[in-house]
Amino acid sequence: MRDTVIGNILTDWKEDYALDFGGRDLHLAHSLHKSEMFSDEALVRLLEYSRRENYHVKATDEGGTGNREGDLGDLSGADILKAVRKGKIWINIQHPEAVDSAYGEMIADMYREFEARVPGLQTFKHMSTILISSPKVRVRYHADVPGQMLWQIRGSKRVWVYPNQAPYLRQDALEKLVLKRLHETDMPYDTGFDQGATVYDLEPGYMLYWPLNCPHRVENHDCMNVSVTTEHWTRELRNIYAVNYANGLLRNAGLRNLRRQRSGPGMMAKLAFAGAAKFSGMTRSAQKPYRIDFRVDPDSPTGYRDIDAYEFRK
């Protein structure tokens, strides 16, 4: 029966997880893998009804060094799943709640549970993305801007999580990422970093939450994977973001030795500066468009075929 006070998503919560929430990796059990929201039927509906701006299809380029972006054409959801099962692609569906409000309730419930369990935690700007990916697909080394969790639903994957400091995460790369001048997968990576990583084999019914901006990379085991990533903000995370954002603009303007304030007037000034810069639109024109150069194809062994490239801007 549903626990109406705290909820039933996190199934093995222990009190001490609350003490260090966001400060170290958490690898927790959850119940979402049992939900009908991730059946083939539900995925077909998501794939067929998601609007173009709410999905990305990706594949690795031939050199294995970059990501290509594709589209779904007018395929049925069943054909798209067929291409994922046999091919080498991954699909990110953003704003699943636009197709079915049950996904919106799901993410609200997830964070309500954390807030009920972690004293003082207040989160906002929740977002969820559903990832449907081919066997053995790899997601390259990258970092994400907001607070982020990875929930495994179907299939299994190996996840490497790296510390959120140099050399794994360089301050200039983080600032570019925050300014959206670096795509999330353009983060400098060296195989030697792996010695400093914590490695998880993520199975259905388990989730990972790592500290803010920790770089990570992922390799699916030999099966189709369905996962959910959730994003959130807190006031503390927003303040760190604003300082990185302001420092990124100031560094572009030639300033050096920038402080990373966590509180006080310096932080408040940067919060205001970052807000004003974003509001004025002065950073908008620098954002990169996506180049779409393949289409999902269930009859191809890779799950896609090349098309004439075109640009897509969200």
Write down the least CB distance from residue 31 to Fe ion, Å: 23
Burial class of residue 236 in the structure, from the number of CB atoms within 10 Å of its CB (0-12 exposed, 13-18 middle, 19+ buried): middle
**Interface with Fe ion, residue 25, by CB under 5 A:** no
Q: State the Rg of the chain over Cα.
A: 20
**Which residue number, 189 or 273, has a Cβ lying nearer to Fe ion?**
189
Applying the rule CB under 5 A, the residues between 183 and 222 that interact with Fe ion are none
Write down the least CB distance from residue 241 to Fe ion, Å: 16
Total residues contacting Fe ion (rule CB under 5 A)?
Answer: 1
Write down the least CB distance from residue 139 to Fe ion, Å: 7
Write down the least CB distance from residue 119 to Fe ion, Å: 28
- Start-end of H helices in the chain: 40-49, 77-86, 101-117, 171-178, 235-252, 264-280
**Which residue number, 144 or 293, has a Cβ lying nearer to Fe ion?**
144
**Which residue number, 49 or 290, has a Cβ lying nearer to Fe ion?**
290
Write down the least CB distance from residue 150 to Fe ion, Å: 7
**Which residue number, 183 or 238, has a Cβ lying nearer to Fe ion?**
183
**Which residue number, 75 or 187, has a Cβ lying nearer to Fe ion?**
187
Q: How many residues does the structure list for the chain?
A: 314
Residues 6+ apart with CB under 8 A from 303: 59, 83, 84, 86, 87, 88, 89, 134, 296, 297
Write down the least CB distance from residue 60 to Fe ion, Å: 16
CA–CA separation, 229 and 93 (whole Å): 10
**Which residue number, 183 or 251, has a Cβ lying nearer to Fe ion?**
183
Applying the rule CB under 5 A, the residues between 114 and 173 that interact with Fe ion are 144
- What is the DSSP-derived secondary structure letter of residue 79? H
CA–CA separation, 246 and 12 (whole Å): 40
Residues 6+ apart with CB under 8 A from 76: 44, 48
**Which residue number, 77 or 96, has a Cβ lying nearer to Fe ion?**
96
The residue of the chain with the least Cβ separation from Fe ion equals 144
Residues 6+ apart with CB under 8 A from 144: 184, 213, 231
Q: SS3 sequence, 133-145?
A: ECCCCEEEEECCC
Write down the least CB distance from residue 264 to Fe ion, Å: 31
* Nearest partner of 144 among 202, 90, 214, judged by Cα: 214
The residues of the shown chain that bind Fe ion, judged by CB under 5 A, are 144
